[in-house]
Amino acid sequence: MPWKECNRMDERLRFVARLLEGEKMSVVCRDFGISRPTGYKIFNRYKDFGLEGLGDRSRRPYRHANQLPFQVERTIIAIKREHPTWGARKIRDKLVRDLPIGHPPATSTVHAVLDRNGFVQRKRRRRYKAEGTPLGHVRTPNALWCADYKGEFRMGNRQYCYPLTITDYSSRFLLACEGMDSTKSTFAFAGFERAFKDFGLPETIRTDNGTPFASCNALFGLSRLAVWWLRLGINIERIKPGHPEQNGRHERMHLTLKKEATKPASFNLLQQQARFDDFVTVYNQERPHQALGGKYPAELYTPSPREYRVPEEPDYPFHDRAARVTQCGRICIGKRKINLSTVFAGQTVGLREEDEGIWVVSFLDYDLGFFDQDEGRVEPAPNPFIAKVLTMSPEQTVNHVPG
C-alpha cells in the first residue's frame, strides 16, 4: 500500500512498528509500496533520532555551491584590515595556514570578496565611458522603446503564434508587430534588426525579465540579445519582475491588438501577419489616441538619426591582451580554459592583470569579474551594467503612469 499523502508521519510509524515486531524488511517494504533502500533509511532515522527522525525534513541545501561561508568572508576582511597592503594571494595563503578549511577559496574568490567590500582600488580609465540615458518619463521619440511578446495564441491550423511588438514610448508609435514561431532569440534578432534598419537605433529599450530579453541563469542576467544591444550602444531598462504595469503603455496597446487582430485568430501565420500589418497601419495613421490629444502616433514620431550598422570589434588598448570567447563560453589562454558565460560567445573581451596573479575580464567598458592562475572560472564582480541594465524600484514607478 502506498504512503498516504494526508499523514506521512502515521504511515512511517506503522512501518517502523511492523519492523520492531520482527517482520522482514522486504515484506514490509512490499506492503507499503516503497523500495528497500528507502525502508532502511526510514528505519535508521528512527534508530538515530527516535520519533523526530520520522518527520519531513527540509529540502533546502546545506550550502549554496557558489556562496562563501560568512565566517570565511569575515576572516578575509579581518586579515585585509590588519594588513592593508596584502593582496588576495597572500591573504589566501594566510587563510589556509590559520583556518582548517577543507576546500579553501580560490584566489579570485578572495579578490572578489575584497572588491565587494571596497578594498580594491580601481585604476582610472582614460577611455570614454558612455553615460546612461536618464530613466523614467521621456518626451522625445526614440529615447525609449518598449518591447514585449503579446501572449501566445493558437491559430486555425493549431500552431502557436508569438507576436513580438515594439513601440516608441513617447509617441506610442507601433514600430513592429511580427508573428513569430517561438520566443527563441534567433527570431528576436531578426525582428529587431528589421526595426533598427527601418527606424534607426533607440537610446534605451525597456523589456521584462523573460527570454529572450534576459536570462536568469546567465552572468548578470544578460542574454545574447542584450549583449548585442550593448554592442550597438543601446541602454537596457528592465521592469520589476511581476509588475507589467511598469510597461503600462505597451500593455495597453496589447489589449487593443488582442481585440482587433487576434479574435478570431487567422488560419496560418501568413494570414495572421497580414492582419498584424493592417493593424499597424491603422494604429499609427488612422486611430486617434486619447493620450496624444486625439493625434495619430505617426504625426509625432520621427525615425532615429542613429543609423543601424554592424558594430565594430571592441578595442582594448589599455588591457594586456584581447581574447575571443568560444561558443561554449570559455576564454582560452594557451592550454587553459576559463569559464565565463555562453551569452558572450563570439564576443571579444579584454584581459588585464590587476594584482599579482589576478586577472580582470572586461567587456566594452565594463569589468565582468576576476580569475587567477589556479581556478578555471571567472568570479563575478559587482554588477558593472547597473547603469545600463536596470530593474526599476518602486520609487521610480511614480512617473511611469500607463498611458
> What does the alpha-carbon distance between residue 208 and residue 343 come to, in Å, rounded to a whole number?
18
Residues 175 and 293 in one domain: yes
Give the per-residue pLDDT at 72.
84
Cβ(164)–Cβ(191) under 8 Å? yes
pLDDT tier for residue 275 given thresholds of 50, 70 and 90: very high
Mean pLDDT of 382-390: 67
123 located within any domain: no
Residues 221 and 85 in one domain: no
Collapsed DSSP state (helix, strand, coil) of residue 74: helix
Mean pLDDT of 102-118: 83
Give the per-residue pLDDT at 270.
93
Structurally, the chain folds into a number of domains equal to: 4
Q: What angle do CA 10, 15, 21 make, to 5 degrees?
A: 125
Q: According to the per-residue pLDDT averaged within each range, which of 14-18, 196-200, 311-315, 393-397 is highest? A: 196-200
**Model confidence at 402: pLDDT above 50:** no
Give the per-residue pLDDT at 69.
79
> What does the alpha-carbon distance between residue 306 and residue 303 come to, in Å, rounded to a whole number?
9
User: What is the DSSP code (8-state) at residue 397?
Assistant: G
From the CB of residue 79, how many other CB atoms can be counted at a distance below 10 Å? 18
pLDDT tier for residue 155 given thresholds of 50, 70 and 90: very high
| 347-357 exposure pattern, b = at least 16 Cβ within 10 A, e = fewer | bebbbbebbeb
Mean pLDDT of the chain: 83
Mean pLDDT of 343-356: 90
Which of these three, 99, 116, 133, is where a domain ends? Answer: 116
Mean pLDDT of 136-141: 78
**Model confidence at 135: pLDDT above 50:** no
Give the per-residue pLDDT at 7.
65
Nearest of 309, 288, 312 to residue 300 by alpha carbon: 288
44 located within any domain: yes
- The parent domain of residue 233 ranges over 145-300
Mean pLDDT of 319-338: 90
263 located within any domain: yes
248 located within any domain: yes
**Model confidence at 77: pLDDT above 60:** yes
Residues 153 and 203 in one domain: yes
Q: Is 298 exposed, middle or buried (0-12, 13-18, 19+ CB in 10 A)?
A: middle
Give the per-residue pLDDT at 397.
38
pLDDT tier for residue 54 given thresholds of 50, 70 and 90: confident
398 located within any domain: no
Residues 336 and 234 in one domain: no
Residues 204 and 240 in one domain: yes
305 located within any domain: no
Residue 287 or 54, more confident:
287
Mean pLDDT of 79-103: 82
Residues 226 and 289 in one domain: yes
SS3 content of the chain, % helix, strand, coil (to 5): 35, 20, 45
Mean pLDDT of 31-59: 83
Residue 316 or 99, more confident:
316
61 located within any domain: no
Mean pLDDT of 189-212: 93
Residues 217 and 254 in one domain: yes
Q: pLDDT by residue (tens digit) across 2-44? A: 444 446 778 888 899 999 888 999 999 988 888 899 899 999 9
Q: pLDDT by residue (tens digit) across 171-186? A: 999 999 999 999 988 8
Residues 207 and 154 in one domain: yes
Residues 99 and 222 in one domain: no
Residues 103 and 242 in one domain: no
**Model confidence at 127: pLDDT above 50:** no
Residues 293 and 149 in one domain: yes
The CATH number of residue 93's host domain is 1.10.10
Pairing of strands 321-324, 330-333: unpaired
Residue 138 or 178, more confident:
178
Residues 296 and 154 in one domain: yes
User: What is the DSSP code (8-state) at residue 292?
Assistant: G
153 located within any domain: yes
Pairing of strands 204-207, 145-149: parallel
The CATH number of residue 187's host domain is 3.30.420.10
Give the per-residue pLDDT at 138.
74
Give the per-residue pLDDT at 350.
94
Q: pLDDT by residue (tens digit) across 210-258? A: 889 988 778 888 899 999 999 999 988 888 887 888 888 899 999 999 9
> What does the alpha-carbon distance between residue 187 and residue 184 come to, in Å, rounded to a whole number?
6
